[in-house]
Amino acid sequence: MNLGVSHWQDGWWSRALRIDSPNFGERPSHAQIDLLVIHSISLPPGVYGGPEIEALFTNQLDWDAHPYFAQIRDMQVSSHFVVRRDGQLLQFVSCDKRAWHAGRSHYRGRDNCNDDSIGIELEGLEGETFEAAQYNALSVLCKMLLNNYPIAHIAGHEDIAPGRKCDPGAGFDWQLLQHKLELSNSFFPSARCDGKIIKKNM
């Protein structure tokens, strides 16, 4: 994926395949959209390429289709974006709206990270690695978000809900993302900084 000709309209990015989720709400009037949250997801766990993620985010998942789905039965969730293994980018919720991806969370002195964050799901399994195409698509997406929203922080789900969530996990290369984005350490949790990257602030 390259930047190419793209534009934003009402929080939707033209370079992503739009699939509207009903699972969203309004952001609080005081919210600043300054946090990107990186997640990982696969349904069933470790199975890639099927329609289950889209079905989950649009409340159409067949709960009886796989034994694992009993654990998430009737769950209503969403994320703003999903990055497939081949780099395909899907968007489910306008970035101007509040998607339901973070759950109970706390980061940079604030609770309820859904209020002021944009959620990005990478198709993958926590603890395992991700594809080069995903890093390329993710970096392009993050650059576009940095240019259009006052993003000041990028963190994993595990950083905003420690002890409750473990994604994207040890297999995600934070240093690679930081290099691709050319961002300073201040954008990332201190645990993610390697102490070697001296890059521009955007």
Task: Report which DSSP code applies to 139.
Answer: H
| Predicted local confidence at residue 193, as pLDDT | 54
- Token readout for 105 is 């969370």
φ/ψ of 142, rounded to 5, equals -60, -40
Tell me which of 121, 123, 126, 158 is the catalytic residue. 121
| Predicted local confidence at residue 116, as pLDDT | 97
Beta pairing, strands 17-18 & 106-107: unpaired
38-93: per-residue pLDDT in tens?
Answer: 999 999 999 999 999 999 999 999 999 999 999 999 999 999 999 999 999 999 99
Residues 89, 144: Cα–Cα separation, whole Å: 13
* All structural domains of the chain: 8-192 (3.40.80.10)
Q: What is the mean pLDDT of residues 21-49?
A: 97
Residues 85, 151: Cα–Cα separation, whole Å: 25
143-185: per-residue pLDDT in tens?
Answer: 999 999 999 999 999 999 999 999 999 999 999 999 999 999 9
Residues 149, 96: Cα–Cα separation, whole Å: 10
Three-class SS of residue 8?
Answer: strand
User: 157 to each of 36, 76, 126, 165, 198, how far by Cα in Å?
Assistant: 10, 17, 11, 6, 25
φ/ψ of 138, rounded to 5, equals -65, -40
| Predicted local confidence at residue 192, as pLDDT | 65
Residues 69, 82: Cα–Cα separation, whole Å: 19
Task: Report which DSSP code applies to 28.
Answer: P
- Complete DSSP assignment for 142-162: HHHHHHHS---EEEEHHHHSB
121 is annotated as an active-site residue: yes
CB distance 5 to 12 below 8 Å: no
Name the pTM for this structure.
Answer: 0.92
